[in-house]
Structure 1
């Protein structure tokens, strides 16, 4: 049986194509909100999601902070989402923003990538990009998972932030270039890899920093924004750079506890 992450990836792959076909496209923010909600609805015991209670700002450094693992062994990722265009490019991947946090030491306009990497260091997390995809010519050259090729799993992929430093990702070769990188994997891999001990040595995504603290208690509703900021020693003026969501996913099998979406 498929895990929740696998089902959401398959749905993203199909929904992206249908959006183009029916002239009802959805953007990366909509896909982020929908996909994370699907994780929570489908498997609430395996995926805890906390939404930062603040107005959405245009200077966000990331879309979500993601802890994957189990108590005492959490890996931390700071995630920025990008959605593929019909021509195969990621048009906003080199986005620059007009405000830069003073501690970053870079005058605006500043690359979204620099803010992501800077805040990842503050969180003690690995900066990564999540790509929401559909690509007609997808195949083995784009597949770097240790399991059998499953095209639908390319609907949601993860890659280290270093991939965004490649040129030409906004054009028609964007998908090809991102997914030619061997470090780009289906997002299910970081939670349910059957060969995780081997992959830890060979794939960057499995070498994410171990998180010393988790900014959520057992009941996500019990934590306030002030608690969250205090745990990371953030200041209120830095709120516009915080991710919209905090997600905690256990890396145990989800199959027995899923709810239909």
Structure 2
């Protein structure tokens, strides 16, 4: 252990000071006295945003003044753009305020014209720790979670939720546990901003009551997915893509398991009804029961869990290798054209992972 120029103790293996964000050239030796965008770690900023959200949301609930997701999103995106203006650009689609509330954001990660996108819906934890996962969009009457998946597919993105959490959560699943990374020690406050596949949310929505704890425990601190510390032998873009693919695979498994459980319940219910039904009139011998008409429950037995019209192509999209960016994304990177892909998109975050 040694001391950073800011006076705080740091581990010798850290590349950035976890307290001030300054890049380290050697144990305890800062590259610069100030904190420039070039010296600051995106991972460190994500961790700091999570800590602020964790503490502020708890305080806001305590004082009865908790704001909606939009306020926390604006604060976090503002910090990312301000502290990393060399690689992060935020384009906001200006529209009426009522059209922005509850809208999604696109996040595109790119290098040299290649990359991948996420469609992000933010959800703030309530005072008791739950989320408004069953929200229905008033203008369409459709469930917001299904619109998120559908809009993501249309835009060539993977759908995810970013969860804003506070101090009432202790993870029970190893998936959501905080861990050290090269930029600093793990801390419970990093649970302030976590990310989870929208398919995990869809899986939970198949059951009643809604189990917010399951969604939280399947989410991971967002810096673990978007950290700019790639694995050995992979670029930052490749490492981020692999992390998001893994998040989607786990969400797909959650949804398939939930759909199968639903089919199993229908099968059990149908068998129970059949056993309770009286036998054919005229005794037990010599006759045969009239064949039963197929029921929706029986028809669902052989249904592929992801055959719903919302989902075709989603797994294929997740399995695609990194490809060329869509022309509309290239235009936004070049500061040309700020047209939203659909009416529900609030803006786009463009993250350049070159040299990461």
Q: Tell me, in whole angstroms, the C-alpha distance in 2 between the residues paired with 1:170 and 1:220.
A: 43
Contact 1:75-1:208 at 8 Å conserved across structures: no
Cα shift readout 1:145-196 (whole Å, capped 9, x = no counterpart): 684342122111111111212047986x51x211232xx2211122225443
Q: Tell me, in whole angstroms, the C-alpha distance in 2 between the residues paired with 1:85 and 1:142.
A: 23
| Aligned match of 1:103 | none
Q: Tell me, in whole angstroms, the C-alpha distance in 2 between the residues paired with 1:56 and 1:122.
A: 24
The answer on 1:116 being equivalent to 2:134 is no
The answer on 1:71 being equivalent to 2:112 is yes
Work out which structure has the larger RCO, using CA pairs closer than 8 Å and 6 or more positions apart in sequence: 1
| Aligned match of 2:197 | 160
Contact 1:66-1:77 at 8 Å conserved across structures: yes
Which of the numbers 96, 101, 107 marks the counterpart of 1:55?
A: 96
The answer on 1:93 being equivalent to 2:93 is no
Q: Tell me, in whole angstroms, the C-alpha distance in 1 between the residues paired with 2:63 and 2:191.
A: 21
Q: Tell me, in whole angstroms, the C-alpha distance in 1 between the residues paired with 2:201 and 2:52.
A: 25
Contact 2:89-2:350 at 8 Å conserved across structures: yes
Q: Tell me, in whole angstroms, the C-alpha distance in 2 between the residues paired with 1:118 and 1:219.
A: 22
- Runs of 5+ consecutive residues of structure 1 not aligned to the other structure: 101-108, 255-261
Contact 1:69-1:250 at 8 Å conserved across structures: yes
Structure 1-normalised TM-score?
Answer: 0.74
| Aligned match of 1:105 | none
Contact 1:79-1:127 at 8 Å conserved across structures: yes
Contact 2:163-2:194 at 8 Å conserved across structures: yes
| Aligned match of 1:14 | 55
Q: Tell me, in whole angstroms, the C-alpha distance in 1 between the residues paired with 2:246 and 2:61.
A: 36
| Aligned match of 2:248 | 204
Q: Tell me, in whole angstroms, the C-alpha distance in 2 between the residues paired with 1:22 and 1:216.
A: 41
Instruction: Note the C-alpha offset of 1:205.
Output: 7.3
Structure 2-normalised TM-score?
Answer: 0.56
Q: Tell me, in whole angstroms, the C-alpha distance in 2 between the residues paired with 1:169 and 1:134.
A: 24
| Aligned match of 1:40 | 81
Q: Tell me, in whole angstroms, the C-alpha distance in 2 between the residues paired with 1:224 and 1:152.
A: 38
Q: Tell me, in whole angstroms, the C-alpha distance in 1 between the residues paired with 2:124 and 2:351.
A: 22
Judged with a 3 Å threshold, the aligned counterparts in structure 2 of structure 1 residues 7 and 248 are, in CA distance, closer, same or farther, namely same
Instruction: Note the C-alpha offset of 1:14.
Output: 1.1
Give the paired residue count. 230
| Aligned match of 1:191 | 226
Root mean square deviation of aligned Cα: 3.3
Of structures 1 and 2, the larger Rg is shown by 2
The answer on 1:178 being equivalent to 2:215 is yes
Cα shift readout 1:29-71 (whole Å, capped 9, x = no counterpart): 1111121111111221121100112223448784210012423
Judged with a 3 Å threshold, the aligned counterparts in structure 2 of structure 1 residues 205 and 51 are, in CA distance, closer, same or farther, namely farther
Judged with a 3 Å threshold, the aligned counterparts in structure 2 of structure 1 residues 153 and 73 are, in CA distance, closer, same or farther, namely farther
Q: Tell me, in whole angstroms, the C-alpha distance in 2 between the residues paired with 1:251 and 1:152.
A: 26
